[in-house]
Amino acid sequence: MSGLKLANVKKSFGAVEVIKGVDLEIADKEFVVFVGPSGCGKSTLLRMIAGLEQITSGDLTIGDKRMNEVDPSQRGIAMVFQTYALYPHMTVRENMGFALKFAGAPKAEIEQRVQEAARILELGPLLERRPGQLSGGQRQRVAIGRAIVRHPDVFLFDEPLSNLDAELRVHMRIEIARLHQELNTTIIYVTHDQVEAMTLADKIVVLRDGRIEQVGSPLDLYDNPDNIFVAGFIGSPK
Ligand code: ADP
Ligand code: MG
C-alpha cells in the first residue's frame, strides 16, 4: 500500500448532502487526525474509507487501486469504534480471534496473531478473562487488539477514547502513539480532544459542515490558523 487519496468525495443521505467535496491525500504511515464539530461528517468520511458507507460521487484510491466498490474486507483497513461491543460470553483471546476464525484462518495462525496483539497491547495475562472482568481501558485495548490481528494497512479510529475517564485517556493516548510507532501503519483518527490532536497528529484535518476548512501540521494550524473557526479548534486553550 502507498498513500490514500480522496478526490472530490461527496456523500448524500437522501436529498441531504453531508460531505460536500473532500480532497485529501494521506501518505503511507502518516498519522492523520480529523477534528470538527459534531455533525460535520467525520464519522461518515471514516465509514466511506472503511467501505461501510457507499461514496455518492468522487474517488477513493489506495496506492493505485480505486476502492469505491471494493468490499470492506478486501481493503486492508480496520476500524476501532467509540462504542466497541465485545462479546461478553467470549474470553479476550476469543474476542480478538473471532474475525479471523470467521474468515476461516487456520487455528495456528489465529493463535500466533492473537499472541502478537496481546504482546503489543500488554494483554497477555488477561487472555482467559471475559470482558466483564476487565477495566474500561483494558476493554478498549481488546477492541484495538481485534483490529491489530487483521494486520491492516490502515487503522481508522472513531473517537476511541471518548468514553474513558480523563486519566485513562492520557494513558491510552500514549499507548496509541506507541502503537503507531510499533505497527508502522497509517492511522486516521477522529477526536474531539485538542490535546490528542496536537500530540498524536502528523497532520490535522479541520472539518466544517462537510468540507475541509484547513489541513496542516499541528504547529502550522496552531501558529497560522486560516480563520477564527480553525483557531477555535486548535489554537485556543480549553
Ligand atoms: P460527525 O461524526 O462529525 O459527528 P457524522 O458523520 O456522524 O458527523 O454525520 C454527518 C451528518 O450526516 C449529520 O448531519 C448526520 O445527521 C448525517 N448522517 C450521518 N449518518 C446518516 C444516515 N445514515 N442517514 C442520514 N443522515 C446521516
Ligand atoms: Mg462521529
Find the ligand nearest to 18 CA. 1
Q: Is the ipTM of this complex over 0.85?
A: yes
Q: Which residues surround ligand 2, an ion (CB under 5 A)?
A: 43
CA of 45 to the centre of ligand 1 (A): 10
- pTM for the model stands at 0.92
- Per-residue CA distances from 125 to 36, 49, 92, 134, 172 (Å): 38, 34, 10, 11, 18
State the average pLDDT for the chain.
92
| Tens digits of residue pLDDT in 113-124 | 999 999 988 899
Q: For the chain, give the percent of residues with pLDDT over 70.
A: 98
232: Cβ below 6 Å to ligand 1? Answer: no
User: Mean pLDDT, to the nearest integer, of 168-185?
Assistant: 89
Nearest ligand to residue 20 Cα = 1
pLDDT of residue 97: 96
Pocket test for ligand 1, best of 9, 11, 12, 13 (most atoms within 8 A of CB): 13
Ligand nearest the Cα atom of residue 40: 1
Minimum mean pLDDT range among 15-29, 72-86, 204-218: 72-86
List Cβ<8 Å contacts ≥24 apart for 23-28. 23/212, 24/205, 24/212, 24/215, 26/186, 26/188, 26/203, 27/3, 27/186, 28/1, 28/2, 28/3, 28/186
pLDDT at 5 over 50: yes
Note the pLDDT of residue 238.
Answer: 43
Q: Is 18 in the pocket of ligand 1 (CB under 6 A)?
A: yes
For the record, the C-alpha cell of 153 comes out as: 494497512
Grid cell 502518516 in the structure block, residue: 30
pLDDT of residue 37: 93
Digit-coded pLDDT (tens) for 68-111: 989 998 899 999 987 778 999 999 999 999 989 998 999 999 99
Beta bridge partners of 205: 34, 215
Q: Which atom of ligand 1 is nearest to the CA of 47?
A: 6
- For ligand 1, whether the C-beta of 13 sits within 6 Å is yes
